[in-house]
Structure 1
Amino acid sequence: MSLKPIIFREYIGSKDGSKHLNFPVDIINNKVKEFHFILAFAKEGYQNNKGSGIFTASWDLTAFNVESIKNLKKDHPNAKVIVSIGGPKDITLFNVDERHAWLFNATKSLTEIITHYDIDGIDINYETILSSTEDFVFCIGGLIKQLKEENIITSASIAPSEAVHPHYNLLFNAYKKYIDWVDYKFYDHFLPSKEQFKELYNKLSSDYPSVLLAGFSTNTKDEIYLSQGTFLDACQELIDTNLLPGIFVYDADYSKATGYQVEGLAQNMIVEDI
């Protein structure tokens, strides 16, 4: 299948003490068909280590408030704002007590957040899943399906890592008609060469056909796993062979220190192929 790159996504807000006072709109290439800022995160409440499904907005609400989101989308018609749920593996867990109650609470609380803040979509980012695979698929798939069918959101994505890939792949296969993008964490793998990156990308493409985005982390601790040069070289070759629909970066809080270099280079590659 021949794919043209159409999307760039940027996580933002995950780092404690972020210095962003607003969305860094200067990094948006207006020629990219879709540019997504992904707010990290809406925080789930827990009791006795069990997730309640009740979410609250936990990002910097001074920097990323209703007004700033509306202004962003008014000034940049290609921009959307997504809210991510889940988060770091040692802090947020997918661990439900009763799955029907979780689904009801999650749908209600996230609908309130999404409608209040003029959010366009949801991103599933749990890195640790303690509940059964069946409960994960039932809850997350049901959540995405309901938000989509009720027109609460227009975009839904999942963010697998190597450790939980089997859970997410079963979720994708069961609800693929509702899932628009897959932000796979390639930077969790040791990929010292572009050939190894492309080999993994092509392998995963069979699990997530047509929707798999290439992902890079600008956190300096992840450089030992995947370098900027290796990532960009691999992406260019995937674009040249019509295999890559888009790119995402995790995240703007780390990228700020380097002037958002990889964001600019990645979007240029996407635009040059349009």
Structure 2
Amino acid sequence: MASSYLLSSLLLLLQALLSPASAAHSKLFTEYIGAEFKGVRFSDVPIIPGADFHFILSFAIDYTTPSSNSPTPTNGHFNIFWDTVNLSPSQVAAIKQRHGNVKVALSLGGATVGGNPKYFQPSSIDSWVDNAVDSLTRIIKQYHLDGIDIDYEQFHADSDIFTECIGQLLRRLKNNGVISFASIAPFADAQVQSHYLALWRKYGHLIDYVNFQFYAYGANITVSQFLRYFAEQSSNYNGGKGKVLASFTTGGSGGLSPQNGFFRACNILKNQGKLNGIFIWSADDSKSNGFRYEKQAQNLLASGR
């Protein structure tokens, strides 16, 4: 009788621990910064002590610098394309020293370079990976960075080549102790999803976060639509280490905006134990509104249930 009672109690405790209502939500807040050269600094952005804050420098690109109207690909030799005047190595070190909850990563790719489409187009898997490991290790160490984000959006290579290039890159950077976390930034486009889901299936165990671009769905979606999209992408990127983050943009009208219920949707996800974090594109655009939504997002994440 006593053993039966003990077993029943343990089962009830286990159910309570695993139920969505009692699941602990993530406190991760992520923000892209530096792509639009609007003079924003790390120190401009409000940082709440109770949140885990990741800045993502945008972008490092394996193209020549845009000194001409036709920058060219460099097969994994990455160059810095973010605002290095306001986001320098010393400023990375300073913000991390000032705020113990801050980490800084860099993002690879982006949609355009020098106003031209940016394509993922390696000469070969082996040469691209070798070049990328060398050039990115140098940048990451120079800038005191912690992680890497993958945001290629256009491709002149099939999904198998993309999978091996990015997967092997992440594996070597993690195995070498160069980075402590990695994320990917897909969106709901057939070609984009085919490449990232192929990567996910083989190398998802190396990917810590999925910065899904929910703002790419178009303007004026509703809370219920957002929750449906979130459930769909959480199912697509299920298993492994990845956690799909909720997202919105402060630079346009795409997706579910804060004015139309983004934070209401996040509170619903939080109450269900499904809120893995929030990211914003981007700090450059938020400067004009005084970073009001950065404060709101972090306060939501840092608060109790």
TM-score, structure 1 as length reference: 0.93
1:130 correspondence with 2:156: yes
- 1:170 Cα deviation after fit: 1.5
Matches within 5 A, 1:211-230: 211-220=243-252, 223-229=253-259, 230=261
Q: Which runs of 4+ in 1 moved over 6 A?
A: none
Bigger mean CA offset, 154-163 vs 82-91: 82-91
- Counterpart position of 1:168: 196
Q: 1:67 aligns with which of 90, 95, 103?
A: 90
The separation in 2 between residues aligned to 1:273 and 1:145, in whole angstroms, is 35
The separation in 2 between residues aligned to 1:68 and 1:48, in whole angstroms, is 28
The separation in 1 between residues aligned to 2:74 and 2:122, in whole angstroms, is 5
- Counterpart position of 1:197: 226
The separation in 2 between residues aligned to 1:39 and 1:185, in whole angstroms, is 16
Q: 1:5 aligns with which of 12, 26, 38?
A: 26
- The one-character-per-residue Cα deviations of 1:166-193 (angstroms, maximum 9, x if unpaired) are 2111211211221110100100003521
Alpha carbons 1:4, 1:273 under 8 Å: kept: no
Relative distance call for 1:50 and 1:59 in structure 2 (3 A) is closer
1:232 partner SS: helix
Alpha carbons 2:216, 2:254 under 8 Å: kept: no
- The one-character-per-residue Cα deviations of 1:144-175 (angstroms, maximum 9, x if unpaired) are 11000110000100000112012111211211
- 1:224 Cα deviation after fit: 4.9
- Counterpart position of 2:14: none
Alpha carbons 2:278, 2:297 under 8 Å: kept: yes
Query: Residue type of the partner of 1:162?
Result: A
Relative distance call for 1:3 and 1:189 in structure 2 (3 A) is farther
1:85 partner SS: strand
- Counterpart position of 1:152: 178
The separation in 2 between residues aligned to 1:97 and 1:231, in whole angstroms, is 42
The separation in 2 between residues aligned to 1:201 and 1:19, in whole angstroms, is 33
- Counterpart position of 2:63: 45
Query: Residue type of the partner of 1:153?
Result: I
User: Which of structures 1 and 2 has the bigger CA Rg?
Assistant: 2
Query: Residue type of the partner of 1:241?
Result: Q
The separation in 2 between residues aligned to 1:201 and 1:3, in whole angstroms, is 18
- 1:91 Cα deviation after fit: 2.8
CA RMSD of aligned residues (A): 1.8
Alpha carbons 2:186, 2:213 under 8 Å: kept: yes
- 1:3 Cα deviation after fit: 4.8
- 1:98 Cα deviation after fit: 1.4
Query: Residue type of the partner of 1:226?
Result: L
- 1:5 Cα deviation after fit: 2.0
Alpha carbons 1:5, 1:273 under 8 Å: kept: no
Relative distance call for 1:236 and 1:100 in structure 2 (3 A) is same
Q: Can you give the 5+ residue segments of structure 2 that lack an aligned partner in the other structure?
A: 1-19, 65-69
TM-score, structure 2 as length reference: 0.83
- Counterpart position of 2:281: 250
Percent identity for Structure 1 against Structure 2: 35
- Counterpart position of 2:147: 121
- The one-character-per-residue Cα deviations of 1:85-131 (angstroms, maximum 9, x if unpaired) are 10125532111121211111011100000011111111000111220
